Structure 1
Amino acid sequence: MTAAVQTPGPTPAPSVRCVTAHNPSPMTLAGTNTYVLAAEDAAGVVVVDPGPAEDAEAHLARVLAAAGGRPVGLILLTHRHADHTGAVEAFAAATGAPVRAGLPALCRHAPALEDGELIDAGGVRIEAWHTPGHTSDSFCFALPGTGPHGAALTGDTILGSGTTMLDFPDGTLTDYLATLERLEEAGPLTVLPAHGPVLPRLDVVAREYTDHREGRLAQIERALDDLDEDEADRITAAELAPRIYPGLDGRMAQVAEQVLAAHLAHLRR
């Protein structure tokens, strides 16, 4: 299998390279995107989301090839999920680079990220945005100097295809709707997602995500209105899921139930 090394579009940015891990699935789409950030004349690079533990050594080799022989000076994590963090130990051991994330437990030789923090590394100015919802520790990384309107690495907060799941109860719909509002207000940044292809406008996609969630809330409210008041108050996500997501089974049914639980909790607040 050949290395999946690409330069994100639609307007190629010389400060960003993407290497897709070989972990495709219905949840990860084509695989987890690891990003390599560096100005053209920078001595080192920044790596965002090293990817899963499976195939870590081979993936590391592909990432270092994308770095063009330059050392890794910093590793950033968008959030805690294993398809993003499983290879952290392999990357940190091989490169000696510090690791920064929203959760202190994921950090190595560096402090946890703070919302609004400016990071200068690899010749690139990176803005760290705390964007909870998918998980409580999710961060997006904005690159003001990349592309015509800037760019944002959105982790699993915004995907390149479809919509993301909410890891409830850690990730909540209440937080997620606030995050989507923030991302919509950020403007027409290029979206560099952790799964799927590049998208041209963050504000447009964030609005579409919000409309999708609000439509789902309205659908759930209609379903609850069909029940008597006591039953509507007691019904669980598992009991309601077949009405909202008919025909699902296996892992996708479990994810749907988890997302539905987040919507119910939001409505019941």
Structure 2
Amino acid sequence: MRAVTALPDPRTGWGLPALGALPRTADLEPLVTRVLAPNPSPMTLDGTNTYVVGAPGNGQAVLVDPGPDDAAHLAAVEAALGARGARCVAVLVTHHHGDHAEAALPWGQRFGAPVAAGSPAVAGPGGRVLEPGERLSLAGTAIDVVATPGHTADHLAFRLESGAVLVGDHVLGRGTSVVTHPEGDVVAYLESLRRVHDLGPSALYCGHGPELTEDPGAVLDFYLAHRAQREQQLLDALAAGAATVDQLVATVYAQVPREVWPAAAQSTRATLDKLAVEGRVVLGPAERVRTA
């Protein structure tokens, strides 16, 4: 198998906080306060980022991705609302995964605030299903709804008046996002990356990890290039003799901790689906794969 040169991650020289060093609460810009949930893990990185969004002095705020229904996290979010002199008037959710959405309905009920999301299951019986391209006028500001399917089919991003985009799990502050099989769609994911890139974001506020403010476009370029690199690595591994998903993961992700190999396997299956649709690989029984 020919060597594949590692792609440079532009974030490596930005001086971002080390893993585990993100502050519990941080004011990112006048419109946004980030509150970190206490649910760190190999998949959630530092934990889930909950965002409190609203115009200063407006007396209102929107919660984006409330995260886990955790008493300590709720207390920290309520403290952030108090510091802004704001009450919660809406709960927005980027996608249905529990580390982002679990608290949406109970907190919406607690605050007397409607829940809005891309799927009716998350929005709940009294909530609102958001449509791509909508502009929400909430908490003294405008929030644009951006379709970003790929990580999940119901994934949305939210563009703020400042030009920052709250990207959920579409882009992470560290590493790269996982597109799982079968709910993930690599083709849709790549299209969504380009859609966010075309917005020219001033910052990317991620579902996990630090905010990306120095050159958001460079991070999106890296994400696109990283996906292309993974595809080539899989094709090279197949040409060298790998014939199953497990063998591909062991080859391509050899330098990655084994605890994340199950997620890598899901991402590999999603990428193989894309390559199969393109006629570049053939998928067989028992997760066997060969080049076309």
TM-score (norm 2): 0.82
- Structure 1 CA distance for aligned equivalents of residues 90 and 105 of structure 2: 13
Match of 2:181 among 168, 176, 188: 168
Q: Which amino acid aligns with 2:136?
A: I
Match in the other structure for 2:273? 265
| Shift, 1:111, TM fit | 2.1
Identical pairs, percent: 40
- Check if 1:156 corresponds to 2:164: no
Q: Which amino acid aligns with 1:34?
A: T
Match of 1:212 among 223, 226, 230: 226
- Check if 1:246 corresponds to 2:232: no
- Structure 2 CA distance for aligned equivalents of residues 248 and 219 of structure 1: 14
Match in the other structure for 1:37? 53
CA contact (8 A) 1:101 1:113 kept: yes
Match in the other structure for 1:137? 154
- Structure 1 CA distance for aligned equivalents of residues 208 and 226 of structure 2: 19
CA contact (8 A) 1:184 1:204 kept: no
Match in the other structure for 2:139? 122
1:132 match: secondary structure: coil
1:67 match: secondary structure: helix
1:209 match: secondary structure: helix
| Deviation sequence 1:177-208 (CA, Å, 0-9, x none) | 11111122111420111111111133221111
- Structure 2 CA distance for aligned equivalents of residues 185 and 89 of structure 1: 33
- Structure 1 CA distance for aligned equivalents of residues 199 and 255 of structure 2: 37
- Structure 1 CA distance for aligned equivalents of residues 255 and 193 of structure 2: 29
- Check if 1:105 corresponds to 2:115: no
Match in the other structure for 1:59? 73
Match in the other structure for 1:74? 90
Q: How many residues align?
A: 251
Match in the other structure for 1:226? 240
- Listed as ranges, the gaps of 5+ residues in structure 1 are none
Closer/same/farther in 2, CA of residues 111 and 88 from structure 1, 3 Å limit: closer
- Structure 1 CA distance for aligned equivalents of residues 137 and 259 of structure 2: 40
TM-score (norm 1): 0.88
- Check if 1:96 corresponds to 2:112: yes
Q: Which amino acid aligns with 1:6?
A: A
Closer/same/farther in 2, CA of residues 19 and 121 from structure 1, 3 Å limit: same
| Shift, 1:57, TM fit | 2.3
Match in the other structure for 1:195? 208
Q: Which amino acid aligns with 1:263?
A: T
- Structure 1 CA distance for aligned equivalents of residues 132 and 201 of structure 2: 21
CA contact (8 A) 2:35 2:51 kept: yes
- Structure 2 CA distance for aligned equivalents of residues 250 and 82 of structure 1: 23
Q: Which amino acid aligns with 1:168?
A: H
Match of 2:99 among 75, 78, 83: 83
| Shift, 1:239, TM fit | 3.5
2:78 match: secondary structure: helix
